[in-house]
Amino acid sequence: MVPVSTALSLEVSGLAFAYPDGHQALFGVDFTVPRGERVALLGPNGAGKTTLVLHLNGILSGGTGTVTVAGLPVGKRHMAEIRQKVGIVFQDPDDQLFMPTVREDVAFGPAAAGLKGAALEERVRTALEQVGMAEFADRPPHHLSFGQRRRVAVATVLAMRPEILVLDEPSSNLDPASRRELADILRALDVTVLMVTHDLPYALELCPRALILSDGVIAADGPTGKLLSDDALMRAHRLELPFGFDPRTVTSDA
């Protein structure tokens, strides 16, 4: 029988954390994410979402509780492997793109990890194909549209072949066509996705399951449509749907 831990991409248990100034951001967070699942992390500003995400690859540590990625505890012993397994795509793609060409940006991480030659070229080609940007490999990133740069930023993370793809507000500043294109890409990926977003319709479209983080704890965990349809729950945690949007009338193909 396969141990349960091998079927989980992420396991967070009793995670609590306070910043040096005494601000307590997390008060005991518990949840698991099975391999291949797409999960939305929702919550108002100040709920602790960023603090939680920064624990997933060891950028923050020193609190209590544990974080386990693909069976490996997040800590100094496994840090290099953990940071390869947890890929974070920032809200602003320009925070991730700094090389002269798209190809060099996507190659940077695998090359730093020791990949060379034909194997590196194949890794870059595959990552760019996954996001529909192979034909732009030799373009400077700053010549691309914002939506194209976001797709390249996703490719820089996919090139590391992560266990978990963490997306920070992936739909922000995207026009409707770019938003749809990114959604199509994310649906096609064979990777665990944790999507941090205030865009509740996008969460419903892409993530069958959602977590609501509020005041440093998981306040709700369940089917995205069910959580978004709970008016009392939404009000209690300062979550608001766009005017006229009713999740009860939407059929998600996530």
Tens digits of per-residue pLDDT, 59-69? 999 899 999 99
Q: How far is CA 210 from the centre of its chain?
A: 13
| Triad 29, 32, 37: Cα angle to 5° | 135
Say if residues 155 and 185 touch (Cβ distance below 8 Å). no
Mean of pLDDT values over 224-228:
97
Q: How much of the chain, in percent, has pLDDT values that exceed 70?
A: 96
Residue 252 pLDDT greater than 70, yes or no: no
Helical axes 146-158 vs 176-188, angle rounded to 10°: 10
- Tokens describing residue 185: 């890409």
State how far the Cα of 192 lies from the Cα of 39, in Å rounded to an integer: 8
CATH H-level superfamily of 4-239 = P-loop containing nucleotide triphosphate hydrolases (3.40.50.300)
- Tokens describing residue 220: 């709700």
Beta-bridge partner residues of 31:
12
- Tokens describing residue 246: 């009713």
The confidence score (pLDDT) of residue 3 equals: 38
- Tokens describing residue 36: 């291949």
Q: Looking at the whole model, is its pTM more than 0.75? A: yes
State how far the Cα of 46 lies from the Cα of 44, in Å rounded to an integer: 6
Q: Are strands 72-73 and 64-69 parallel, antiparallel or unpaired?
A: antiparallel
State how far the Cα of 130 lies from the Cα of 151, in Å rounded to an integer: 9
The confidence score (pLDDT) of residue 250 equals: 84
Type and span of the H or E element at 162? none
Say if residues 162 and 84 touch (Cβ distance below 8 Å). yes
